[in-house]
């Protein structure tokens, strides 16, 4: 009788093959995730670069960088200032610098809608993809008691340095907004030594530290950040709180490194003119005027410089260096 052989895997061989496949998949998945994150980080870099180009185009027309917002009242005198109306007829006192960049990022349609909308924040139900970091899927935010969720932005202007650097140098702040408290939240002090500040009036000629040595915009894009506002808000949209929190620009403080706000247990104390106060827990450690810069990228965040270049800063970067690069005319020596 002829013996018939059956070709195939034995149980042991099959288990070995499955084990090898599992090992290969285990090795492949991290590589795939790394490639995806590299793509997301590249997209984020491109968004910041486009915002830098838009800021340059804005400067070409207005001869200054876009303002974080404008004051409606002078806190020192109590006098009501006339509203700031831009040349296109839109009253934007409290709108963010992002609103001023809309015509330069191919968003003129939304710009036109603002002529017919008395409350600009209502238009923040429209997403602006350029304002999002691809590594953070959280883009909708709740603002107060509004029933409609609104779209935020993951990119914030650099208002300047706050407090003292490691050499003891103190950075002056905006005298109209120093330390103002609403409930448990401290809203100040507010930096004005950077490029995106309340009141604006920052031409390239005033950036004596050099455009390549000065921050313009940075990421606050980590997923659990608790103080995102919609992309339209710069400060307050109404006159109820004319001296209120910066929403679209932040300062960089010596005691607040990149990604510090991601530590839920972090408690920062910032020395401001000899006064000790706790940076508020809003946003898991990030205050209104204090830097909450960080991202869901690995170990750091992207920053656009005023010359339009974009650089990734590791979370271990010395905060003194970050403060130096955040000022426009501090005269610091940047390594």
The pLDDT, as a whole number, for residue 277 is 36
**For all residues of the chain together, what is the average pLDDT?**
76
What is the tens place of the pLDDT at every residue in 256-265? 789 887 765 5
- CB neighbours (10 Å) of residue 262? 19
**Comparison of pLDDT for 316 and 289, the residue scoring more:** 316
The confidence band for 272, taking pLDDT boundaries of 50, 70 and 90, is: very low
The pLDDT, as a whole number, for residue 232 is 86
The pLDDT, as a whole number, for residue 90 is 56
What is the tens place of the pLDDT at every residue in 73-119? 544 344 444 455 554 555 567 788 999 999 999 998 888 787 777 67
The pLDDT, as a whole number, for residue 230 is 85
- Is the pTM higher than 0.85? The answer reads no
The confidence band for 9, taking pLDDT boundaries of 50, 70 and 90, is: low
Among 244-248, 313-317, 322-326, which is the least confidently predicted range?
244-248
Contact 329, 209 (CB under 8 A): yes
DSSP 69: B
Give 198's strand partners: 69
- What's the sign of the alpha-carbon dihedral 83, 143, 297, 283? positive
The confidence band for 33, taking pLDDT boundaries of 50, 70 and 90, is: low
Return d(Cα 321, Cα 335) in angstroms, integer: 8
Average pLDDT rounded to a whole number, residues 231-242? 63
């Amino acid at each position: 009788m002829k013996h018939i052989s059956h070709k195939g895997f034995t149980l042991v061989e099959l288990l070995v093959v499955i084990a090898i496949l599992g090992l290969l998949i285990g090795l492949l998945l991290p590589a795939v995730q790394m490639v995806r994150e590299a793509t997301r980080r590249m997209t984020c870099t491109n968004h910041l670069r486009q915002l830098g180009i838009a800021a340059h185009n804005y400067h070409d027309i207005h001869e200054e960088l876009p303002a974080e917002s404008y004051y409606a009242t002078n806190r020192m005198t109590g006098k009501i200032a006339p509203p700031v109306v831009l040349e296109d007829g839109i009253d934007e006192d409290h709108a963010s610098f992002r609103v001023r960049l809309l015509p330069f990022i191919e968003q003129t349609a939304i710009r036109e809608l603002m002529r017919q909308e008395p409350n600009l924040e209502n238009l923040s139900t429209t997403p602006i993809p350029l304002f999002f970091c691809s590594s953070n899927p959280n883009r909708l935010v709740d603002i107060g008691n509004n029933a409609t969720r609104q779209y935020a932005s993951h990119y914030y202007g650099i208002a300047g340095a706050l407090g003292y650097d490691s050499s003891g140098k103190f950075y002056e702040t905006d005298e109209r907004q120093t330390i103002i408290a609403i409930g448990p939240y401290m809203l100040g002090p507010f930096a004005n030594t950077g490029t995106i500040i309340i009141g604006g009036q920052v031409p390239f000629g005033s950036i004596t530290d050099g455009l390549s040595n000065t921050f313009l915009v940075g990421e606050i894009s980590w997923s659990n950040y608790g103080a995102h506002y919609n992309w339209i808000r710069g400060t307050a949209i109404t006159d109820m709180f004319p001296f209120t929190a910066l929403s679209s620009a932040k300062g960089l403080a010596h005691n607040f490194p990149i990604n510090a706000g991601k530590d839920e247990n972090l408690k920062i104390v910032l020395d401001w003119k000899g006064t000790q106060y706790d940076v508020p827990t809003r946003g898991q450690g990030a205050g209104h005027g204090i830097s909450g810069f960080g991202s869901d990228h690995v170990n750091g965040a992207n920053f656009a410089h005023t010359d339009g270049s974009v650089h990734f800063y590791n979370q271990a970067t010395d905060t003194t260096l970050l403060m130096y690069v955040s000022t426009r005319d501090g005269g610091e020596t940047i390594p």
